């Protein structure tokens, strides 16, 4: 499976995080297709985060435990802070 997702982060913009799909991605035809795409995209981004944490740990940029803890804290804050 190929799933191209672009994440553009710029703290100098009003909307700091932009997420897009590859140019070859077909637009979903139904709300159900859109829901499936979003669920797959979230899983793909999660896998990407796990790989980034693994690489950072392997290269000595920090500990896997700390990166995972901070990631979990950020996700848990999303449940509390409904404005994000």
Query: Could you tell me the pLDDT band of residue 6, with boundaries at 50, 70 and 90?
Result: very high
**Paired sense of beta strands 17-21 and 5-9, if any:** antiparallel
Query: Could you tell me the pLDDT band of residue 62, with boundaries at 50, 70 and 90?
Result: very high
Three-class SS state of 83: coil
Please compute the mean of the pLDDT values over residues 37-51 and round it to a whole number: 97
Decide if pLDDT at 82 tops 70. Answer: no
Plot region of 13 (φ>0 → left; ψ -120 to 50 → alpha; else → beta): beta
- What gap in Å lies between CA 80 and CA 55, rounded to an integer? 30
Distance, CA of 54 to chain centre: 15
Q: What is the mean pLDDT of the chain?
A: 94
- Which pLDDT does position 83 carry in this prediction? 62
Task: Indicate the helix (H) or strand (E) that contains 1.
Answer: none
């Amino acid at each position: 499976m190929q799933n191209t997702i672009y994440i553009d982060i710029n703290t100098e913009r009003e909307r700091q995080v932009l997420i897009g799909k590859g140019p070859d991605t077909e637009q979903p035809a139904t709300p159900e297709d859109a829901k499936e795409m979003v669920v797959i995209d979230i899983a793909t981004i999660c896998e990407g985060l796990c790989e980034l944490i693994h690489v950072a740990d392997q290269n000595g940029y920090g500990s896997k435990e700390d990166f995972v803890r901070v990631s979990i804290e950020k996700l848990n804050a999303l449940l509390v802070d409904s404005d994000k």
